[in-house]
Amino acid sequence: MARAGEECPRCGRPLKSLNGACEVCDAPKKSVLSSGSGALKDTGFAPAIVMDGRDPLTGDLRISVSSPGGKSETRISTAGQMFVTVEGAEAGKKSEPWAAKTLRTKLNEQGTNASLSSAPDNRGEDRRLHVGDDTYVLQISTTPSARSFWRDASVSSVVTQVELQRGVEWLRGTIVTKADAIPPDQRASMVLLVDARHAGLLAREEVAALYTSQFGSPSAEYGFASVWVAGPLSKYCVRLGNGRP
């Protein structure tokens, strides 16, 4: 039987068994390898392969993601241009489990005892995040938040080239849109997680510093407990400004 809290990595639904396919989306169980900076590990479900590092030919910083949920590559050139290529990927619910677990891993790596649990869909909550004795509502929102971008990416391939500043504005737009949709009195117990799985180079300390230098800490501005950005690996997961956790 599945362990308490185990979720399908494709659709995010609770698993009744780890011995076969997900009963909701039919994601097959198989022994596979995922990679981050050359480190391989068994994930137990369909392939999710992440590679990151410097391109030896161009010097570009890059992250590539290949999984049943889509493929992508993010690059930042030595001149500061950001290139994002996404193919067959969908934003939203299907990507939420990865983002949530990336944040949990990051917090645990920092020495914080963090865990996740499901939350009632009818209340608009994506997950519950437990940190020590505290429990937060975890709200997850994808960046970039343009629906046309993800609509096109889900059926074909989308390539965009922008200045890194534009990427910072993507984060800003995602945060503002989510804040506008949540009553202020609900934000203090809420952690907002910006899902940048397919734009992972936005989830770096350098970008967080750019954001806060222009807009300040979003937790102070909007009253969230904290605001995080999660890429495809825990090394690309960063808090914007101050907050708890």
Q: Give 27-79 pLDDT, tens digit per residue.
A: 554 433 344 444 334 344 456 799 999 999 999 999 999 987 788 999 999 99
Residue 1 in domain: no
Amino acid at site 162: V
73 assigned to some structural domain = yes
pLDDT for res 95:
81
pLDDT tens, position by position, 115-173: 999 987 667 789 999 999 999 999 999 988 766 676 766 666 788 889 999 999 999 99
* Distance between CA atoms of residues 56 and 24, nearest Å: 42
What pLDDT, in 10s, does the model give residues 145-159?
Answer: 766 676 766 666 788
Residue 66: CA count within 13 A, CB half-sphere: 10
Residue 3 lies in a domain: no
User: In terms of residue numbers, what domain contains 142?
Assistant: 33-239
Q: What is the pLDDT of residue 194?
A: 97
In a domain, 89, yes or no: yes
What is the Cα–Cα distance from 115 to 10, expressed in whole angstroms? 19
Does 21 map to a domain? no
Dihedral class, residue 76 (left if φ above 0, else alpha if ψ from -120 to 50, else beta):
beta
The amino acid occupying position 158 is: V
Residue 31 pLDDT? 35
Question: Can you tell me which residue has the tokens 């994002």?
Answer: 84
- CB–CB of 35/50 below 8 Å? yes
| pLDDT value, residue 37 | 45
Q: What is the mean pLDDT of the chain?
A: 82
Q: Is residue 223 part of a domain?
A: yes
Tens of pLDDT along 84-123?
988 887 666 678 899 999 999 999 999 999 999 998 766 7
Is residue 215 within 8 Å of 221, Cβ to Cβ? Answer: yes
Total of domains in the chain: 1
Specify if 168 maps to a domain. yes
Burial class (CB in 10 A: 0-12, 13-18, 19+), 42: exposed
Full-model pTM: 0.80
Q: Is residue 5 part of a domain?
A: no
Report cis status (omega within 30 of 0) of the bond before 245: yes
Structure confidence at residue 42 (pLDDT): 38
Q: What are phi and psi of 222, to 5 degrees?
A: -115, -10
- At residue 23, does pLDDT exceed 70? no
